[in-house]
Amino acid sequence: MANWVVNNWLSVLVLVTWLALNVFLFTHAFLSYEKGDKYYYTREILGLCRRTLRKQLDHNLTFHKLVAYMICLHTAIHIVAHLFNFERYSRSLQATDGSLASVLSSLSHQETEGDSWLNPIQSPNMTVLHMTFTSIPGFTGVIITIVLVLMVTSSVEFIRRSYFEVFWYTHHIFIIYFIGLGIHGIGGIVRGQTEESIKESHPHMCAESFEKWDDHDSHCKRPQFEGNSAESWKWILAPGVLYIFERILRFYRSQQRVMITKVVMHPSKVLELQMIKRGFSMEVGQYIFVNCPSISSLEWHPFTLTSAPEEDFFSIHIRAAGDWTENLIKAFEQQHSPIPRIEVDGPFGTVSEDVFRYEVAMLVGAGIGVTPFASILKSIWYKFRHADHNLKTQTIYFYWICRETGAFAWFSDLLASLEQEMEELGKVGFLNFRLFLTGWDSNIAGHAALNFDKATDILTGLKHKTFFGRPMWDNEFSTIATNHPKSVVGVFLCGPQALAKSLRKCCHQYSSLDPRKVQFYFNKENF
């Protein structure tokens, strides 16, 4: 736990601050309704009405999801609370016992002077359904609830992976959500006594003598009520301004000309694009958003940069994994057609930028998830060629897990040049390759076994041999902990959640309780 806090202290600070602010504001609103004189008569009908407090923040993907879960939870509480409110409103209106609640409910909407009603249900025949669809709070509440359900259900991983367009377009109806949220409280269903009425007829003195409110000689007059002004806009204003500013900035950056200098088709339907753009500057492991207007002017997809900061271009590798990527690859495969125009926004930072802060680094990529580490490995190659003495990293363990042999060809030239460079510099132990093939049959395994004694691997051409099956992570972590008993090890993953769970568990298990000994810190790429 301590390792996680140290590695994520900024996220922890933001999260704690956000939660503390929401707890404070919720408590403040709760006590206002529970203790305030303004809502004395409202409590006589409802007992208590709770308001939902929401704040839209988006620090990173994990925090974004947490906020979404909190919004869903509080929305459910908000809806259930109002259903109870409407039931109490209806019951108070139908009561004939002459109680204070029934008298307050009889203050009708037909008053000639002022707006003194307290119960929004005007007659015993009015249903909750009618009240919902004929009032601003009710109607906007239905709209934003439907929007929220659509956004949440279209955000599940299956939809995102298989039908990204559905997720993308549905997620952008948040604009309707914010508009509805901003005007949701205009109707003022939950009402309180006006300040002037409190001064004239304070509830603590006049509530007990409510039968005499209409008497001319009574000092207690019939109370007057008013609805609250809408407050949701206070939560929306700042994020809305920031969002508009970000969209303008993104539009400006996307309009800058991008020149495609090289197009390479790799095995397993992987497209490599090498590009240049004026003023573009990157660090290892960063990513960009890419848009192709000829396919969709609204869709922007994130891709990790596979080039190194030392190179005079930037590159990405795109695997066919949906309609958009398949259409993009087809567009570049058409030899007699002009090259499609590409717009780029970024780069943006990720956890892989910190790889050179660690003495020992474990880089784990699954399939196309190897792309952020390609940038790191290229940068290492340049650093060694230019004898960079500021390089803190002493050893790198590179794990690449693939289902098919063709995937290894994506970066085979890079891995071979790195292997040769380390050997020439006498740094063979600096870079350790661990390549694993999970999708294999007896023919592949038999062919590899027959050629095992050769100097180079039959599948990759590297001197490091390819392993068949999945890594035994307990063995890998145990070996690294033994080889580096006093080092800080950074574990970086770009891969599935199941693998992340295993690596996170191993990091905790093999980190020493003594801070002076080996410590593993887990980092995962998120898009």
203 upstream amide cis, omega within 30 of 0: no
Helix axes 136-153, 174-183, angle to 10 degrees: 160
Provide the mean pLDDT of the chain: 79
| Helix ranges, 371-492 (H) | 371-385, 412-424, 442-450, 473-483
Strand pairing report for 270-277 and 314-319: antiparallel
One digit per residue, the tens of pLDDT, for the chain of length 527 reads 555 555 566 666 776 776 777 777 777 766 766 666 666 556 555 544 332 222 233 336 677 788 888 889 989 988 888 888 888 888 888 877 778 888 887 776 555 455 677 888 877 777 778 888 888 888 899 999 999 999 999 988 888 877 777 888 898 899 899 888 888 888 777 788 888 888 888 888 888 877 777 777 777 888 888 877 777 787 788 888 888 888 888 788 778 889 999 888 887 788 889 999 988 888 887 888 898 988 888 788 888 888 888 888 999 988 887 788 888 888 888 877 788 889 998 888 765 667 778 888 898 988 777 777 888 888 877 777 776 667 778 888 989 888 776 666 667 777 777 777 777 777 777 888 888 888 766 666 665 665 566 656 656 667 677 788 888 999 999 999 999 988 889 898 888 888 888 999 999 999 988 888 889 988 876 54
Burial, 275: exposed, middle or buried (Cβ in 10 Å; 0-12, 13-18, 19+)? buried
User: What is the secondary structure of 93-128 as a DSSP string?
Assistant: HH--S--HHHHHHTS-TT-SSS-----S--STT--H
- pLDDT, residue 393, reads 81
- pLDDT, residue 333, reads 85
- pLDDT, residue 55, reads 27
Rg (CA), the chain: 32
Give the H/E segment covering residue 316: strand 314-319
Distances (CA, A) of 346 to 60, 246, 282, 350, 378: 16, 12, 9, 12, 20
- 185: left (phi > 0), else alpha (psi -120 to 50), else beta? alpha
- pLDDT, residue 457, reads 66
Let me know: does 513 contact 498? Beta carbons within 8 Å: no
Strand pairing report for 431-437 and 395-402: parallel
Amino acid sitting at position 473: W
- pLDDT, residue 143, reads 93
Amino acid sitting at position 140: T
CA distance 270 to 303: 13
Amino acid sitting at position 330: K
- pLDDT one-digit tens code per residue, 54-111: 223 333 667 778 888 888 998 998 888 888 888 888 888 887 777 888 888 777 655 5
CA distance 173 to 101: 41
Give every strand in the sheet of 314-319, ordered side by side.
Answer: 258-266, 270-277, 314-319
Residue 526 has a CB neighbour count (10 Å cut-off) of 13
Provide the whole-model pTM: 0.62
- 14: left (phi > 0), else alpha (psi -120 to 50), else beta? alpha
